[in-house]
Amino acid sequence: MIKAGIIGATGYAGGELVRLLLGHKDVEIKWFGSRSYIDKKYYEVYQNMFQIVDAVCMDDNMEELADQVDVIFTATPQGLCASLIREEILKKVKIIDLSADFRIKDVKVYEKWYGIEHKAPQYIDEAVYGLCEINREDIKKARIVANPGCYTTCSILTLYPLVKEGLIDTDTIIIDAKSGTSGAGRGAKVNNLFCEVNENMKAYGVASHRHTPEIEEQLGYAGNCEITLNFTPHLVPMNRGILATAYAKLLRKPDGSLPSYEEVRAAYDKYYKEEKFVRVLDKGVCPETKWVEGSNYVDVNFVIDERTGRVIAMGALDNLVKGAAGQAVQNMNLVFGLEESEGLKLVPMFP
């Protein structure tokens, strides 16, 4: 039985981690960490856990925690994991960090986009970017897994086959993405109040959203080139879900024709046909957030626009599951040699 500890267990992603790990046959949660609710019963924070979890919330003492568990999940704001991690800790446990502390390989880029000093740059190169469908073998050997962001997971998996197979001009990529309000976290913020969000849609972080360099870096590895793209997120009045719509110019073949639907579809099938959690939809079916809600699935598809010579690629996922906690559990399964889908065999909820 794997013993797990969660730092940040009372945030939305942390709460989802608890829900998923409680249903995992090989895991026991030993530590429910939360600075905001120390000594408070976990079910008093999340009433859905009444008579399910009787544990009391603990602090974020990673050194003490490392003596009690095999894996630590850090579902915390940027900077905390990096400030706590030590070699003595890494000799004892695996770390799966849901923040951005170890996602970006260039510390200067991280510090520029996140506006904070990185406290553990010595571990950046070692950390493995935890997008399971792309870095599976490296994840299995990792001590530190940098769990990807929700927007990034959706955007990268939506575009990856197109970039990897050289089907698009990477200088023309534009990503338009929408997210439910849980993506902003559980903290009290005026912009997230019901009256601010309901009956409204808005763009935010325009030309400045901090997931941009993460998407650029990972797609750059896929295309073996430097990528600069436009990424614009939008907030929509729903609890969960991300929908990413990406646009790019298709590269024409030597005879001047565009790649056919069958050729583009073959690229998606090449990378995702054997993937449990990436579903390439039937021709003409667009991904929708309601068909992935509560699950670890990502639905992707594309349409070729013959008139403009562009491909329109689309992806949908649940930002709290595949975009956060579900992916973290998937990473844990890989690290500990378990069946990758264990604890994640969740049928999407509807309605």
Domain ranges of the chain: 2-126, 151-319
Three-class SS of 205-236: CCCCCCCHHHHHHHHHHHHCCCCCCEEEEEEC
d(CA 127, CA 145): 6
Beta bridge partners of 39: none
Give every CB contact of residue 269 below 8 A, 6+ residues apart in sequence: 280
d(CA 349, CA 328): 20
Whether 246 contacts 174, CB under 8 Å: yes
The CATH code belonging to domain 2-126 is 3.40.50.720
d(CA 332, CA 339): 10
pLDDT tens digits, the chain, 351 residues: what are they? 999 999 999 999 999 999 999 999 999 999 999 999 999 999 999 999 999 999 999 999 999 999 999 999 999 999 999 999 999 999 999 999 999 999 999 999 999 999 999 999 999 999 999 999 999 999 999 999 999 999 999 999 999 999 999 999 999 999 999 999 999 888 878 988 899 999 999 999 999 999 999 999 999 999 999 999 999 999 999 999 999 999 999 999 999 999 999 999 999 999 999 999 999 999 999 999 999 999 999 999 999 999 999 999 999 999 999 999 999 999 999 999 999 999 999 999 999
Q: Supply 253's token pair.
A: 């073949």
Q: Supply 8's token pair.
A: 């940040």
Select which of 57, 81, 150, 154 is catalytic.
Answer: 150
Q: Compute the radius of gyration of the chain from its Cα atoms.
A: 20
d(CA 212, CA 207): 8
CATH class of domain segment(s) 151-319: alpha beta
Q: How crowded is residue 252: how many other Cβ atoms within 10 Å of its Cβ?
A: 12
Beta bridge partners of 181: none
Is 225 among the catalytic positions?
no
